[in-house]
């Protein structure tokens, strides 16, 4: 028969004392947050504006003396949805800072926040007009002949289309959590199905995809996320470093940006509804986008719990391209865990930088 034991009074009292102190700290720091809100210091890695085209800006990071690799890294993030300072959150928790420390000549394309005057901008123009100019500017600034193209989220299909149309400019291609096979894009595939979602009506009515609707769409993906976030905040309120990270990430996670109308129409129709990219039916700038034209070394990184780009959705690029040097990594965490947070710094960034580093010598 099991012998039940009661806790020792001394143990219990010690634990209660610890808990009381922690709760007092939680209370005092919570009050501090409410009554003296502070703006997190974001994007502190030194950068220089290389080029600006309409709302989009191209930044170069770090100092010349720190650059050890011959091939520049050009990062293309998502257009719309959120701002790109997630990649340079704050010192010690910044993907860009990490890459600069590893000796890369790092460039980031900030698509910017588009207004009503940009509603005519299409996916097609982004790939065939904006990206080529930005790549030329990167090559000119770095005096290199090719770039390592690193696409994150929607930046990966944008980058993949570019790499398929202009393969000569791309030395390596990295897809981080970027959707390729849209039949496997989880809840968004179901919600944006053409039987239920009338994209033409939406764009015709609003002109753009407003940021509030983007917010609703993403919040619905995980309705319990805010509850978990704030429970975790309360739990860790006594820990200053956690609070610092929370403030930065929370600012980013609640700053949604709109999509230009025509871009969103093409994105939903040709990618989510018709899955043209992986079928080889996509035509941009009058040319067919054939992913098998991508013959350069390829790294695809998927996140196990990603509900925006499930791993199999990103992995599809492995089969669609025709190079011989291909690697697929599936790492723990969600969509954002690849690019921000302690897990990213420990599990993801060293692998990505190591892979690129090995392939960053100019021929």
Partner 1 sequence: MSDGFMNQDLLSMWKRSMDQGMEAWQKLTGQQQAPDISQFWRPMFGQSLDVWTQILKQGMSSPDVLAHWKKFLDDSVEGWSKVLEQAMGTDGFAAAMGKFLDQYMNTVGPVRKSLQSSNEEFLRTMNLPSRKQITDLASQVVSLEARLEALEERIEDLVDSISLLETFVKRATNP
Choose one: 86-94, 187-195, 333-341, 354-362; the region binding partner 1 (CB under 8 A).
187-195
Measured at the CA of 355, the angle between CA 352 and CA 356, to 5 degrees, comes to 85
Measured between alpha carbons, how far is 107 from 289 in angstroms, rounded to an integer?
A: 25
Measured between alpha carbons, how far is 211 from 206 in angstroms, rounded to an integer?
A: 11
Decide if residue 212 touches partner 1 (CB under 8 A): no
- Give one DSSP letter per residue of 285-305, joined into a string: TTEE--GGG--S-EEEEEETT
Choose one: 155-163, 204-212, 245-253, 332-340; the region binding partner 1 (CB under 8 A).
204-212
With CB under 8 A as the rule, give the number of residues binding partner 1.
44
Decide if residue 191 touches partner 1 (CB under 8 A): yes
Binding partner 1 (rule: CB under 8 A), the pick from 224, 324, 346, 363 is 224
Decide if residue 15 touches partner 1 (CB under 8 A): yes
Measured at the CA of 349, the angle between CA 310 and CA 299, to 5 degrees, comes to 55
Decide if residue 223 touches partner 1 (CB under 8 A): yes
Count of H-run helices and E-run strands, the chain: 15, 12
| Burial of 289 from C-beta contacts in 10 A (0-12 / 13-18 / 19+) | buried
Which tokens hold the place of 331? Answer: 């790492």
- Nearest 5°: phi and psi at 329? -120, 130
Decide if residue 143 touches partner 1 (CB under 8 A): no
Choose one: 32-40, 63-71, 95-103, 194-202; the region binding partner 1 (CB under 8 A).
194-202
- By beta-carbon proximity to partner 1, the closer residue of 42 and 139 is 139
Q: Rounded to the nearest whole angstrom, what is the least distance from the CB of residue 11 to partner 1 in the complex? A: 6
- Nearest 5°: phi and psi at 98? -60, -45
Q: Which of residues 277-336 bind partner 1 (CB under 8 A)?
A: 307
Q: Rounded to the nearest whole angstrom, what is the least distance from the CB of residue 6 to partner 1 in the complex? A: 7
- By beta-carbon proximity to partner 1, the closer residue of 6 and 64 is 6
Task: Measure Cα distances from 324 to 147, 168, 321 in Å.
Answer: 19, 16, 9
Binding site for partner 1 (CB under 8 A): 2, 4-8, 11-12, 15, 19, 53-54, 115-118, 120, 129, 133, 136, 140, 186-187, 190-191, 193, 195-198, 201-202, 204-206, 220, 222-224, 227-228, 231, 235, 307
């Amino acid at each position: 028969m099991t012998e039940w034991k009661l806790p020792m009074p001394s143990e219990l009292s010690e634990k209660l004392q610890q808990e009381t102190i922690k709760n007092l700290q939680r209370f005092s720091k919570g009050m501090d947050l409410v009554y003296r809100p502070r703006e997190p210091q974001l994007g502190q890695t030194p950068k220089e504006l290389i080029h600006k085209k309409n709302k989009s800006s191209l930044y170069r990071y770090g100092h010349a003396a720190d650059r050890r690799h011959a091939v520049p890294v050009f990062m293309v993030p998502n257009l719309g949805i959120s701002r790109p300072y997630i990649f340079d959150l704050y010192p010690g928790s910044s993907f860009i800072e990490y890459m600069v420390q590893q000796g890369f000549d790092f460039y980031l394309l900030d698509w910017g926040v588009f207004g009503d005057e940009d509603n005519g901008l299409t996916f097609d123009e982004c790939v065939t007009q904006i990206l080529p100019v930005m790549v030329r500017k990167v090559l000119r600034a770095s005096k290199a002949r090719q770039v390592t193209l690193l696409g994150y989220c929607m930046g990966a299909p944008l980058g993949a289309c570019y790499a398929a149309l202009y393969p000569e400019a791309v030395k390596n291609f990295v897809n981080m959590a970027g959707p390729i096979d849209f039949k496997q894009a989880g809840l968004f595939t179901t919600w944006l199905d053409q039987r239920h979602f009338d994209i033409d009506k939406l764009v015709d009515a609003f002109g753009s995809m407003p940021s509030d609707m983007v917010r609703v769409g993403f919040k619905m993906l995980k309705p319990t996320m805010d509850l978990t976030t704030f429970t975790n905040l309360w739990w860790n309120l006594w820990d200053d470093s956690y609070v610092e990270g929370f403030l930065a990430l929370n600012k980013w996670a609640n700053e949604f940006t709109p999509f230009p109308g025509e871009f969103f129409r093409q994105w939903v129709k040709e990618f989510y509804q018709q899955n043209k990219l992986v079928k080889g039916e996509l035509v941009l700038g009058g040319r067919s986008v054939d992913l098998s034209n991508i013959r350069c070394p390829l790294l695809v990184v998927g996140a196990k719990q990603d509900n925006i780009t499930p791993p199999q959705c990103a992995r599809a690029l492995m089969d669609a391209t025709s190079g011989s040097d291909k690697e697929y990594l599936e790492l723990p965490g969600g969509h954002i865990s690849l690019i921000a947070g302690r897990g990213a710094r420990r599990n993801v960034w060293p692998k990505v930088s190591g892979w690129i580093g090995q392939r960053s010598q100019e021929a």
